[in-house]
């Protein structure tokens, strides 16, 4: 390295060192203002961290919670017709693990006493996963016994149970009878309370009918569910594919309101932090206007002074963001545990976003002090005007 290059690097290193000393000295001498600004930035960073963590983690938990409320898409044969063979396998392939589904077939049968009752054939294992909100006393087995004659295991709705109060457990459909082995009762507050559910294999052997309805709880965001709905409609053009409005609209409303509330809270706190930083920087500018006047008088450029203010602002943003991030992480973990009874998955990828956001807020707050610095007149300040 040549001597001029070494001298240039030495001068640059000296300028950088002096620049950093000036920033540290300004913070130490006016630590009251610096601490108030750091607290504001830390609070803003904490809220932002909480919002981002909940966006990434709690939103997924909310989507899983909505799956517990049952189907959000229904595929049914038009005019009660049976769905084509292999419909269940086709739907499972389209979902590709992004949801659960269960088939249903319905007939109206009669008890020995003449009561008409709706009987549904289904897959109990799938229904148990699909409809976790069902209040079931005991789930019957899905498999049928091999002995003949063999009673068919049944799950009876709470209101439908009155039809079997006299001890009868036989049902007849088109002159074909079956005997039930009632394993438990179900209560949902809906039409399920008036039905009898039996395994699909036994139902098909008894009625010779295939499923006419497949209920689906598709997972993911509202956009993902809409995409699944469109794919199902294309796959089953001769069937009626429609969303369960109360579930889908409720999910959309809750997720949107949650997101809007979180973002509005973060924006409000960020604005408050920006105002606090602005007040701090304006105070620093007022306290040091004579220092800046001397610097300008001896040849300091506006670019250097602007860089000084911006560097102070960026330093405030970085230093305040670090404790704020960990405070926000703890707050998000508490919210997740209190509301979803599950641990939060920390995402360190949020940290750069929080730091960058804090720096942007402080730099925006520095724009006004920088503009005021441009209008500073060294001669007037040094004369005491």
Whether 335 and 191 share a structural domain: no
Q: Is residue 9 part of a domain?
A: no
pLDDT band at residue 32 under the 50/70/90 scheme: low
Q: When comparing pLDDT for 166 and 320, which is higher?
A: 320
The helix/strand count (H/E) of the chain reads as: 13, 10
Question: Do 237 and 89 fall within a single domain?
Answer: yes
Q: Indicate the residue among 193, 214, 243 that finishes a domain.
A: 243
- Number of domains comprising the chain: 2
| Spatial contact of 280 and 36, defined as CB atoms under 8 Å apart | yes
Residue 7 falls inside a structural domain: no
Model pLDDT for residues 210-253, shown as the tens digit of each residue = 999 999 988 877 778 888 889 999 999 989 998 876 555 555 56
Look at residue 18 and tell me if it is in a domain. Answer: no
User: Do 56 and 32 belong to one domain?
Assistant: yes
The answer to whether residues 82 and 28 belong to one domain is no
Helix (H, G, I), strand (E, B) or coil at 187: strand
Q: Which segment, 26-35, 85-94, 281-290, 312-321, is predicted with the most confidence on average?
A: 85-94
Residue 121 and residue 225 share a domain: yes
* H or E element that contains 99: strand 99-111
Say yes or no: 43 and 156 in one domain.
no
pTM score over 0.75? no
**97/216 same-domain check:** yes
Residues 218 and 274 in one domain: no
Instruction: Identify the pLDDT of residue 26.
Output: 55
pLDDT digit string (tens) for 50-102?
877 877 766 666 656 656 666 788 999 988 889 999 999 999 999 888 888 99
Quick one: CA torsion of 231, 232, 235, 241, rounded to 10 degrees? -140
CA atoms within 13 A on the CB side of 92: 7
| Residues 232 and 261 reside in one and the same domain | no
Residues 266 and 353 reside in one and the same domain: yes
Is residue 350 domain-resident?
A: yes
14, part of any domain: no
- Evaluate whether residue 318 is within a structural domain: yes
The residue out of 184, 217, 243 marking a domain boundary is: 243
- The answer to whether residues 291 and 235 belong to one domain is no
Which domain range does residue 316 map to? Answer: 24-65+257-382
Q: What is the DSSP string of 119-177?
A: EEEE-HHHHHHH-TT-EES-PPPSSPPSSSS-PEEEEEETTGGGGGTTS--EEEETTEE
Q: Could you read off the pLDDT of 350-375 as tens digits, one per residue?
A: 889 888 888 888 888 777 777 776 66
Residue 141 shares a structural domain with residue 238? yes
Residue 19 lies in a domain: no
Indicate whether 266 belongs to any domain: yes
Taking residues 261-275, what's their average pLDDT? 74
Helix axes 245-287, 289-297, angle to 10 degrees: 70
* Boundary of a domain, candidates 243, 277, 296: 243
């Amino acid at each position: 390295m040549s001597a001029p290059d070494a001298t240039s690097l030495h001068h640059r290193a000296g300028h950088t060192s002096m620049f950093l000393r000036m920033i540290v000295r300004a913070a130490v001498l006016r630590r009251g203002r610096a601490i108030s600004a750091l607290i504001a930035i830390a609070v803003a960073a904490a809220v932002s961290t909480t919002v981002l963590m909940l966006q990434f983690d709690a939103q997924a938990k909310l989507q899983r919670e909505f799956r517990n409320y049952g189907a959000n898409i229904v595929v049914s044969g038009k005019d009660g017709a049976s769905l084509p063979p292999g419909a269940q396998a086709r739907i499972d392939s389209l979902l590709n693990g992004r949801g659960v589904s269960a088939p249903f077939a319905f007939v109206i049968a009669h008890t020995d006493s003449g009561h008409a009752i709706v009987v549904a054939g289904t897959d109990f294992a799938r229904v148990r996963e699909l409809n976790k909100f069902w209040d079931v006393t005991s789930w019957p087995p899905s498999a049928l016994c091999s002995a003949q004659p063999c009673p068919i295991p049944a799950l009876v709705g709470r209101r439908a149970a009155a039809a079997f109060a006299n001890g009868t457990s036989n049902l007849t459909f088109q002159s074909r009878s079956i005997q039930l082995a009632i394993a438990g009762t179900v209560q949902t507050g809906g039409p399920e309370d008036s039905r009898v559910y039996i395994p699909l294999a036994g139902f098909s052997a008894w009625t010779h009918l295939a499923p006419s309805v497949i209920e689906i709880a598709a997972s993911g965001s509202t956009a993902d569910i809409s995409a699944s709905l469109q794919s199902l409609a294309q796959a089953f053009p001769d069937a009626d594919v429609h969303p369960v409005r109360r579930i889908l609209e409720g999910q959309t409303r809750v997720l949107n309101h949650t997101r809007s509330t979180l973002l509005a809270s973060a924006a409000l706190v960020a604005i408050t932090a920006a105002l606090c930083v602005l007040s701090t920087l304006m105070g620093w500018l007022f306290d040091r206007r004579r220092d800046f006047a001397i610097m300008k008088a001896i040849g300091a450029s506006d670019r250097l002074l602007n860089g000084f203010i911006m560097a102070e602002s960026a330093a405030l943003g970085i230093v305040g963001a670090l404790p704020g991030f960990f405070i926000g992480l703890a707050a998000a973990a508490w919210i997740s545990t209190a509301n979803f009874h599950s641990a939060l998955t920390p995402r360190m990828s949020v940290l750069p976003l929080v730091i960058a956001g804090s720096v942007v807020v402080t730099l925006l707050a520095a724009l006004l002090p920088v503009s005021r610095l441009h209008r500073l007149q060294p001669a007037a300040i040094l004369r005491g005007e």
